[in-house]
Chain A
Amino acid sequence: MIPVDYYIILSAILFTIGVLGVLIRRNALIIFMSIELMLNAANLAIVAFGSVIQNFSGQIFVFFVIAVAAAEVAVGLALIVEIFRTKKTIDVDQMSSMKG
């Protein structure tokens, strides 16, 4: 019998760690991993709320979020590899020009 508040607070903490990762890290791959962490925190909150109202919609939306995250990772990592080929770095401070 765990109150739903605990899950929501945990989700907020995990989301904040993800935000912090995007803000303070300069490795593009770690920033990307932090985005995945934020998606996970949001999924946890959705499943917790869905479990309280006894409804399957929450789980179905989380299923779609997981599928979209997989697509996002495929395209994002391809972009990072392409940027590394032209710039020879994955430091986001170096990616300040729009022309490759």
Chain B
Amino acid sequence: MTLDLALFLVLALVAVASALGMLLSRNAVYAALYLVLNFVTVAVFYLLLGAPFIAMAQVTVYAGAIMVLFLFVIMLLGSDALPKSQVLPWQKPLAIVMSVLLAAEAAYLLVTKAKPAGDVLPPAELVNTTENLRQLGNALFTDYLLPFEVVSILLLVAMVGAIVLTKKEKGAR
């Protein structure tokens, strides 16, 4: 067993455990913190896969900006614990059975049918960080310039939309 594989298995365990912690914790703040841990482990996976820029973007955007926004809203609403009243008692076991089926199907089909030509990933030490950044920036501002500009407009619209939605109307209420 190589060091890469051992690192992968430990990180995978942390990722799945933190995702389950997010799923099962009753307190929404704990769920958000578990999700931050999960995002950071996924960022380390990106480093292992030779994508340092995406790893850093993951940490700053997901673990930083998005989860801070989540924590702000959780604390703003202050109703992190809901009363336990199950409307449909059969719904939870049915959901678990169907999710396990979905995971088995997805893993089976992706592994057997969607396999790319190269089966084994290149070792991460072959990836030059500066070179990766240079090529990524080059592609982003030449081949993908139009999607990049569209995404900037999308972010602007989302910002305006969030402000308009949460603004109190004058005179109402």
Contact = CB atoms under 8 A, between A and B. Distances in A.
Interface string B8-26: 1000100110011011000
A24 B42 CA distance: 24
Contact of A59 (B38, B42, B51, B107): B51
28 contacts: A2-B5, A4-B120, A6-B12, A7-B121, A8-B114, A20-B95, A20-B99, A23-B91, A24-B23, A26-B82, A27-B28, A40-B39, A40-B42, A44-B46, A47-B49, A51-B49, A53-B117, A57-B139, A63-B57, A67-B61, A67-B151, A67-B154, A69-B66, A74-B162, A75-B161, A75-B165, A77-B162, A91-B83
Given A4-B119, A48-B121, A70 B111 contact: no
Contacts of A91: 82-83
Interface residues of B, number: 83
Contacts of A53: 116-118
B106 A77 contact: no
Q: Which of B106, B151, B161 has the most CB of A within 10 A?
A: B106
Interface of A: 1-21, 23-27, 29-30, 32-34, 36-37, 40, 43-45, 47-54, 56-57, 59-60, 62-64, 66-75, 77-82, 84, 89-91, 93
Interface in B28-50: 28, 31-32, 35, 38-39, 42, 45-46, 48-50
Contact of B22 (A33, A51, A62, A70): A33
A32 B145 CA distance: 30
Given A67-B151, A84-B79, A13 B103 contact: yes
A63 B57 CA distance: 8
A31 B142 CA distance: 37
A89 B145 CA distance: 43
Given A17-B16, A79-B165, A74 B122 contact: no
Contacts of A17: 16, 19-20, 22-23, 99
A80 B79 CA distance: 12
B171 interface: no
